[in-house]
Structure 1
Amino acid sequence: MNYGGRFVAQLEDCRRILDGVNLLYLYDNSIKKIHGAAARFKGKSYESIWRELYRNYEFTFALVDYSLILFDVTDQNRISFSYYENPYVFIDKNIFLAEFGAESEQWYEQYLSEYKKESITPVRYDFYPNDYTPGRHPVAHMHIGYANNIRIGCSYVLTPQLFLSFILRQCYPDQWQALQANGGWLNERMAFQKIERNHFSEADTREFYLHFLTEREFA
């Protein structure tokens, strides 16, 4: 994938999709490079990581429920796409103000920070060719959840659009259904690039992989 103008164009496609299903709150189309994230976040709670990313504007998209989507790109051999679910019980700001009065606006963020969800499901996709280990560390893989060892291999190199489609389908089913009903959101920039053979060994065939079915495969 070309991480220049084509990549930024894909981010714009994602913005259009999110805006079309009324999920978009904030958008920053710069190519993120969150250096040293592993060291920065080691030992921190999920809530503190989410707060740090949100307060520092280290995200590509903030959604209307304050969940974050981050497209973090170092270079073509090190990319990471992340969905950080808002760990707090969300109430729309307008509803909050209508309930408690306009003068309560200063208490809105404090309210959000005090009511944690019982469970959260962050999602991260990594493409790290230099870290590939046959049968153990897939070159492309999905992490689901937090502070666990889940690493599900992917048979394709994901684009921003493909990652967004996964998040919408799994985390926002109503908006996903509306998107499908509207139609026409897939375009030429949503390309399917398979993992190269030298990054998929016999040992990798013994485990479950996420695979995107194309229309041709149903024929």
Structure 2
Amino acid sequence: MKKLKSFFNTVKAEILKQIINLTSQLIAVNLSEEQNFPSEKDGSIYISGNHDLAVALKNIPYSEIYSLLNREKNYNIKMVDGALIQLMYSFNNQGELEKYRLAFFPSPNLEEFQNNSEIYEQDEVYADILDKNIVTSPIRFDFDPKNFKILDHSKSHLTIGQYRNCRIPLTAPITPNIFIDFILRNFYNTARIKFTSDLSFELKNGFGECIHDEERAILHMDIT
């Protein structure tokens, strides 16, 4: 039992280390405009300061959700285009992963970039965020086994937008490294390619599978 608890405590320490390292790397390449380094208490790894997340689940317009999160600095990282990133993990008394929330809230208003695009067009880093036809949509990865329901609420899932019943099953929980790599590849790919040598983090996933057989039979994301 001591060895098992030690293993999970090591995982918790690794998760915290990854978040700190990711934040530092994004600062170094100027992709992070503002940031809050994580805090750790009673098994939870959360955002320093105000970390009440209830607002993100309320039935209010997305622009209001974003504005409140931004105003309260309720994020780990604020990207150069205004997108907000949250990374929070909770572990139980035995040190086992109990829950997490990994969220990406793009800025609903890119007028500053679009109206002054000549400033940013000189640097290819901004190529992915200047198009006027971009439709912003929040993305959230959750691990929430306590509310598990087969084919309705997967233990590990992806939610696109604020759709109440959008829960795309994942085969397993994911690490901060895998989440940030997903965000960079899909929304900041030009910058990711430019800073390949500076953005270096291991993508090996340390969590075991949690997907149900019936969920495996439908469209899902395999991250193992």
Count of equivalent residues: 187
Task: Tell me, yes or no, if the aligned pair for 1:123 and 1:142 is still in contact at 8 Å.
Answer: yes
Structure possessing the higher radius of gyration over alpha carbons: 1
Q: TM-score, normalised by structure 2?
A: 0.72
- Contact 1:70 1:82 survives alignment (8 Å): yes
**SS of the counterpart of 1:82?**
strand
Q: Out of 202, 211, 217, which is 1:200 matched to?
A: 211
| SS of alignment partner, residue 211 of structure 1 | coil
Shift of 1:41: 4.2
CA-CA distance at 1:151 after TM superposition = 1.4
Cα RMSD for the two superposed structures: 2.8
Q: Distance in 1 between matches of 2:57 and 2:162?
A: 12
Q: Which letter maps to 1:49? A: I
The 3 A distance-change label for structure 1 pair 84 and 159 is same
Are the equivalent residues in 1 in contact too, given 2:169–2:211 (CA < 8 A)? no
Amino acid in structure 1 at the alignment position of 2:143: F
Offset of residue 183 of structure 1 = 6.9
2:58 is aligned with 1:37? no
Corresponding residue for residue 200 of structure 2 = 185
* Other-structure match for 1:25: 33
* Compared CA separation, residues 62 and 13, structure 1 to 2 (3 A): same
Amino acid at match of 1:91: E
Structure 1 length as normaliser, TM-score? Answer: 0.73
Matched AA of 2:87: F
Alignment partners' CA distance in 1, 2:61 and 2:192 = 30
Aligned twin of 2:108: 87
Q: CA deviation at 1:62?
A: 0.7
User: 1:161-188 CA deviation, whole Å, 9 max, x = no partner?
Assistant: 11000011111110122244x277133x
Residue among 50, 56, 68 paired with 2:84: 68
Q: What SS does structure 1 have at the residue aligned with 2:104?
A: strand
Per the alignment, residue 158 of structure 2 pairs with 142
SS in 2 for 1:22: coil
CA distance in 2, matches of 1:134, 1:148: 16
Tell me if the contact between 2:88 and 2:102 (Cα under 8 Å) persists in the aligned partners.
yes
- Cα deviation for residue 201 of structure 1 reads 2.6
Whole-angstrom distance in 2 between the partners of 1:79 and 1:147: 19
Is the helix fraction higher in 1 or 2? Answer: 1
Q: Matches of 1:36 and 1:12 in 2, distance apart?
A: 20
Show structure 1 runs of 5+ residues with no match. 99-115, 214-219
